[in-house]
Amino acid sequence: MGKWSDNDRLAEAAYAHFGRVDILVNNAGMSPLAPSLSETSEELFDKVIAVNFKGPFRLSALIGERMMAGNGGVIINLSSSASFKPEPSTVPYSGAKAAINAMTVALAKAFGPKVRVNCIAPGPFLTDVSGAWRDNTAMKRQLGLRRFGEPEEIVGTALYLASDASSYTTGAVIRVDGGVW
């Protein structure tokens, strides 16, 4: 997802296969931890920014413009609670996700009124990437709900944003994070 040419091919393949795109979900991401700020390699920094921001930007630009030229559509970006509460070990990731939040607002302005662009900012969910912290009871106690999210708990927000139920919602960043403050 981090290469423009790959996103160009993906957009073309989607239109060739389906004839149109009604809903784009920018869900690709990666969040590796670096050993320290100064030991964050340029390669790791560039890869995190490319996958988490550069790819979604390019794909949204390509598909959003075609949605505008057609019957409209919906773009749903995935951010992170790390965009609001960054930590030293996640600076590139947090920065890329903060850029997604900003991009969401800008693209909502650029593609409105035919295309709604919104964002979901998940907190700690028990997915395959949670292995390093899923047993961290101190982290759990810091959450407003005192527990980590289950993957199915984000589905309702995605369905809301993808459906006409959110017909008056655009440029929003909706936190689904169990109370990460």
pLDDT tens digits, one per residue of 39-83: 999 999 999 999 999 999 999 999 999 999 999 999 999 999 999
pLDDT at 35: 82
- Reported as a single tens digit per residue, the pLDDT across 120-129 is 999 999 888 7
Query: What is the sign of the dihedral through the CA atoms of 100, 20, 167 and 25?
Result: negative
Query: How does residue 134 score in pLDDT terms, banded at 50, 70 and 90?
Result: confident
Overall CATH class of domain 4-173: alpha beta
Delimit the domains of the chain by residue range: 4-173
- Strand 115-122's sheet: what is its strand order? 23-26, 73-78, 115-122, 173-176
Which positions are annotated as active-site residues? 93
User: Any residues with CB less than 8 A from the CB of 24 and at least 6 apart, and which?
Assistant: 59, 60, 63, 64, 67, 73, 74, 75, 76
pLDDT at 128: 82
- Burial degree of 142 (CB within 10 A; 0-12, 13-18, 19+): middle
Of 94, 76, 93, nearest to 85 (Cα)?
94
pLDDT at 181: 81
CA distance 79 to 142: 20
Least confident segment among 12-16, 123-127, 174-178: 123-127
- Cα 36 to the center of its chain, rounded Å: 25
Which two three-digit tokens encode residue 174? 């909706």
Q: In the predicted model, what is the mean pLDDT of residues 117-121?
A: 98
